[in-house]
Amino acid sequence: MPTRKSALVTGAGGFIGHHLVTYLVSRGYDVRGVDIKSPEYGASAAHEFVIADLRDEQNCLQATRGMDEVYHLAADMGGIGYITSFHAEISTNNTLINLHMLRAARESAVRRFLFSSSACVYPQHLQESADVAPLCEDDAWPADPEEGYGLEKLYMEKLCQYFMEDHGLETRVVRFHNVYGPQGTYSGGREKAPAAICRKVALAPDGGPIEIWGDGQQTRSFMYVDDCVTGIHRIMQSDYRQPLNLGTDELVSVDALVDLVCGIARKSLKKRHDPSRPQGVRGRNSDNSRLREVLGWEPATPLRTGLVPTYRWIRDRVAADALQSAATAAE
């Protein structure tokens, strides 16, 4: 009988990590999850869940011992408002986590190490138009990444390359393009655009206003979390050693995203734009040509299809939060 593979998922208390743990367990892996916090919305499916600060190298060494594969998703990150406000803190925390995890994976003789990078590595000057051309992997150089978060992601991509070339550690790099879905952060400042918009729509009365950051014409592509975890696993098992985009090429404006969520909620809301709020690059889209070539696969969930369960989950959470607040106030 073949030995079951063991996998470590860092950031297992976060949105993508929580879903990835469930996916790997369903595929027969023995899974260890590690995070600085427990999952917010339900217990982890991991066989072992460890609370640990991965900025400490000893914690990284303990986490990687005995593991065949490491899916390194742990990061200090959030939505555009957060990552544009805390460059020093984000860069410092993620640099420590990433370097220590790479060193620990090598020392623990991990077979494969996957790093979760970001589309924030792409040059700013290629993203100045809402009607942006899809970004292919080679566009990352010459470098001009997003300050802080994007820069440290790009540097870690190179560290993965160096550890593979110098030490023989098999590394894989995936560049995420805007992941959304149920069980993700939806309030507090770290949420991404789909979750923030779902929350705002859920809170707004029919016919009322909704605040939109920027002028609403900035564009993005969004990937449903089920497609994301499938893609992560496929990339890990592939023989491709260079960075790969993981996203969709369904480009949509923020205003159009609001319209989609309003349609799902059956609400008509009045858009109120606030150009003073952070909105990031003007446009960003994923070129999936290389992903299709390498995997013979790409994310396929249409945005509206994925938004239905996402909105319903956030709507129910918002309602539960309101009941909890009312009960607390009544005490």
The mean per-residue pLDDT over the stretch 71-82 comes to 94
* Neighbour tally for 223: CB within 10 Å: 25
The catalytic position among 149, 180, 186, 311 is 149
Nearest to 144 by CA among 134, 154, 136: 154
Mean pLDDT of the chain: 96
Q: How far apart are CA 9 and CA 24, in angstroms?
A: 9
Q: How many residues does the chain have?
A: 331
Q: What is the per-residue pLDDT across 159-188, written as a single tens digit (0 to 9) for each?
A: 999 999 999 999 999 999 999 999 999 999
Measured at the CA of 91, the angle between CA 287 and CA 150, to 5 degrees, comes to 15
Tens-place pLDDT, residues 122-159:
999 999 999 999 999 999 999 999 999 999 999 999 99
Tokens of 207: 């016919």
pLDDT at residue 1, as a whole number:
46
Mean pLDDT of 310-315: 98
Domain ranges of the chain: 6-180+224-246
Q: Is the pLDDT of residue 2 over 80?
A: no
Helix (H, G, I), strand (E, B) or coil at 181: coil
pLDDT confidence bin for 69, thresholds 50/70/90: very high
Is it the case that residue 92 has pLDDT exceeding 90? yes
Could you read off the pLDDT of 182-240 as tens digits, one per residue?
999 999 989 999 999 999 999 999 999 999 999 999 999 999 999 999 999 999 999 99
Tokens of 324: 């909890």
> Span 305-321, mean pLDDT?
97
Active site residue 41: no
What pLDDT score does 235 carry? Answer: 98
List of residues 6+ apart from 303 with CB closer than 8 A: 222, 248, 250, 252, 257, 260
Is CATH 1.10.2020.10 correct for 6-180+224-246? no
Q: 52 vs 11, 60, 295, 330, CA distance in Å?
A: 10, 9, 34, 37
d(CA 153, CA 197): 26
pLDDT digits (tens, 9 = 90+) for 279-302: 899 999 999 999 999 999 999 999
94-98, 145-149, 259-263, 323-327: least confident range: 323-327
- Chain segment 234-261, per-residue pLDDT in tens: 999 999 999 999 999 999 999 999 999 9
pLDDT digits (tens, 9 = 90+) for 264-273: 999 999 999 9
Label each residue of 35-97 as H, E or C: ECCCCCCCCCCCCEEEECCCCCHHHHHHHHCCCCEEEECCCCCCCHHHHCCCHHHHHHHHHHH
